[in-house]
């Protein structure tokens, strides 16, 4: 009877009323056995007595959720325990002391049989339209670890992220979508373990389907589902940052956790059998190989089906479309996702590059994918912070980077615009440091990007100089107002709303401490910026979202756009060279709502003549710390190095 219950698919450990089916793809290791562990860590060996296309499988009766297991292989005459690549939970936070020898594998984290019954309390996905989406990127632990108004047990956990105090703050800021740094189980790299550090960000995947145990109080599976459910109750989407470009097993000579011991073909290889490194992490997952493609697609469906997540942001996503040195928008992965009835319904965001040849693919991902727009980041930072007055480039980014993303594909093909990300300077550090200060990472400040396009305004780091502080705050408002009122999906680093500083560290991937943990103790100036930003996000939803809808698709050519001198005259072709003060006027159809951007890049105030008609409402003037509801009609004096946005119904 039980022999008939044994099946090669699905892979992994699958429970039913009679027991559990175990199935593992292991073509390079046929001498493999299933090991079951009791509560005292005593092991029971189970033969995998069935085979199919490189898969070994068996059925074990009377199995229950919570059973710890692994697979025994023979490695250089030693018995090694490997994880199930399809493991849906881990028994504990993975850790070892390098090097990872076969003997240590038996004390390492183990795979856990998981059952997914959960009370979702009839919650549904918020399904936020693209043009209304405001992404907040954050870290599950880092965002709440120092929260001052939360029970200690919840700080830094999945449940911490859905506590009433946090949800209230997210709602006040206008967050529609949380984009979480990786929550799949990960393993710190050997060099970090040698330095007694951890991979805090989590971009070193161990088991793609297992939630990271270090963010759980007791049960990562249930607690993560609870987090998603409570956020959904408050109309906040959850997007997972996910890493399929490489695994935690590193390059040649790296540790063996599963794939390396089971199937060498999971990794792209050169002709001399050396692992290709398109990721900078030692190995590259090969999605032209069917079993690799299968686990990626199975993983995505797993998170959507069992955890109800609303989408994914794919790290180094150019790798997903690679066939060795070439990127193909019609690769098997893209085609498979596009036809999948589950995956084609969720948001898909690509980091459209990797470090290999032909790795920069911004604007080249297929329909149905949004892309992180680093050209927006670089242009806007250069314009406001580096005194690079490239008016044409700035205008292109403001209007949605239509040189790369045709408005005919909007709103679903809107670019994801950003100023700061988890890697690089925070917003506060962008206006406070000229140079990176990564000494705490233990690499003599060699790590991290050198092209920060930042400006400290006269003093490196902290200062009490009120003039410098005013200029820094004004530039923060310039950067954020530009982001929120550009055409695109705004991506905001969550700690930027708190004016969090990392002390100039632009690569805090290994800093599981106050450098990375959000500082909720805000100064009076920080509080003002926090309030200003929440009000600006609300204004964006009310005013900017209808303009994005109107400028999308077939209706995009039916509206009024004028680029204007401060004198009120329309700009000519010659004016696009280093003009320091200019305006952008937009009107919907022939007599609809109107927006006016007044941009002064110069060091002196400039008076602008406004389009004739009824009075304009001032949405924001970045030279001011508060938003006002005042109205103006004919002219406006724009302060130096600032931006004003006007609206007229």
Enzyme catalytic residues: 315, 351
> To which H or E segment does residue 104 belong?
helix 102-105
Q: Which residues contact 399 (CB under 8 A, 6 or more apart)?
A: 486, 487
At 251 the three-state DSSP class reads coil
> To which H or E segment does residue 166 belong?
helix 164-173
Q: β-strand 43-47 against 50-52: which pairing, if any?
A: unpaired
Q: What are the backbone dihedrals phi and psi of residue 547, each rounded to the nearest 5 degrees, phi first?
A: -65, -40
At 643 the three-state DSSP class reads strand
Q: Which residues contact 466 (CB under 8 A, 6 or more apart)?
A: none
> To which H or E segment does residue 303 belong?
helix 290-307
Q: β-strand 135-138 against 489-493: which pairing, if any?
A: parallel
At 510 the three-state DSSP class reads coil
In whole angstroms, give the CA distance from residue 533 to residue 608.
Answer: 25
CB 352 within 8 A of CB 361: yes
Q: Which of 477, 361, 359 is nearest to 427 (CA)?
A: 477
Would you tell me the crossing angle of helices 220-233 and 290-307 to the nearest 10 degrees? 60
In whole angstroms, give the CA distance from residue 469 to residue 505.
Answer: 20
Distances in whole angstroms, Cα of residue 638 to Cα of each of 373, 477, 479, 578, 648: 29, 15, 17, 18, 18
Q: β-strand 78-82 against 311-314: which pairing, if any?
A: unpaired
In whole angstroms, give the CA distance from residue 505 to residue 203.
Answer: 18
């Amino acid at each position: 009877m039980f022999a008939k219950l044994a099946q090669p698919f699905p892979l992994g450990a699958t429970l039913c009323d009679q027991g559990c089916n175990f199935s593992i793809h292991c073509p390079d290791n046929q001498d493999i056995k299933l090991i079951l562990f009791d509560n005292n860590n005593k092991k029971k060996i189970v033969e995998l007595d069935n085979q199919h296309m490189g898969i070994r499988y068996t059925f074990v009766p009377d199995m229950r959720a919570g059973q710890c297991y692994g697979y025994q292989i023979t490695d250089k005459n030693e018995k090694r325990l490997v994880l199930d690549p399809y493991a849906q939970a881990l028994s504990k936070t993975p850790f070892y002391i390098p090097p990872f020898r076969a003997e240590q594998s038996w004390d390492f984290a183990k795979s856990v049989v998981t059952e997914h019954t959960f009370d979702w309390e009839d919650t549904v996905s918020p399904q936020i339209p693209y043009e209304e989406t405001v992404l907040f990127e954050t870290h599950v632990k880092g965002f709440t670890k120092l929260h001052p108004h939360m029970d200690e047990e919840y700080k830094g956990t999945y449940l911490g992220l859905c506590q009433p105090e946090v949800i209230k703050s997210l709602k006040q800021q206008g967050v529609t979508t949380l984009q979480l740094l990786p929550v799949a189980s990960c393993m710190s790299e050997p060099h970090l373990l040698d330095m007694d550090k951890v991979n805090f960000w989590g971009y070193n995947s161990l088991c793609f389907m297992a939630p990271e145990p270090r963010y759980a109080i007791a049960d990562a599976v249930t607690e993560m589902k609870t987090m998603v459910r409570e956020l959904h109750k408050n109309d906040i989407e959850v997007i997972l940052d996910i890493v399929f470009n490489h695994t935690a097993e590193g390059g040649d000579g790296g540790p063996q956790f599963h794939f390396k011991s089971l199937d060498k073909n999971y990794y792209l290889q050169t002709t001399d059998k050396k692992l290709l490194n398109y990721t900078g992490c030692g190995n590259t997952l090969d999605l032209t190989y069917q079993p690799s493609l299968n686990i990626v697609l199975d993983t995505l469906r797993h998170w959507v089906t069992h955890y109800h997540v609303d989408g994914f942001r794919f790290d180094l996503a150019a790798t997903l479309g690679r066939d060795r040195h070439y990127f193909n928008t019609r690769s098997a992965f893209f085609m498979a996702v596009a036809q999948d009835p589950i995956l084609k319904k969720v948001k898909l965001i690509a980091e459209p590059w990797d470090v290999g040849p032909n790795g920069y693919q911004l604007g080249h991902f297929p329909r149905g994918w949004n892309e992180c727009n680093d050209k927006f980041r670089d242009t806007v930072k250069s314009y406001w912070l580096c005194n690079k007055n490239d008016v044409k480039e700035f205008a292109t980014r403001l209007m949605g980077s239509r040189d790369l993303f045709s408005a005919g594909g909007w709103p679903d093909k809107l670019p994801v615009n950003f100023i700061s990300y988890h890697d690089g300077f925070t917003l506060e550090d962008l206006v406070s440091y000229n140079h990176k200060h990564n000494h705490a990472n233990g690499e003599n400040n060699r790590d991290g990007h050198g092209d920060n396009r930042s400006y400290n305004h006269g003093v490196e780091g902290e200062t009490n100089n009120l003039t410098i502080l005013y200029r820094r705050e004004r530039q923060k408002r310039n950067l954020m107002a530009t982001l929120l009122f550009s055409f695109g999906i705004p991506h905001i680093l969550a700690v930027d709303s708190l004016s969090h500083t990392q002390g100039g560290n632009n690569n805090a991937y290994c800093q599981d401490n106050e450098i990375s943990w959000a500082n909720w103790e805000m100064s009076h100036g920080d509080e003002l910026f926090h309030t200003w930003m929440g009000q600006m996000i609300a204004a964006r939803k009310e005013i900017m979202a209808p303009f994005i809808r109107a400028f999308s698709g077939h209706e995009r050519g039916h509206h009024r756009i004028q680029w204007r001198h401060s004198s009120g005259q329309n700009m000519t072709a010659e004016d696009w060279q280093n003009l320091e003060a200019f305006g952008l006027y937009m009107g919907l159809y022939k007599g609809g709502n109107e927006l006016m951007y007044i941009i002064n890049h110069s060091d002196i105030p400039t008076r602008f003549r406004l389009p004739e008609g009824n009075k304009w409402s001032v949405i924001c003037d970045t030279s001011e710390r508060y938003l006002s509801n005042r109205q103006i009609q004919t002219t406006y004096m724009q302060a130096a190095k600032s931006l004003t946005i006007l609206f007229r119904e």
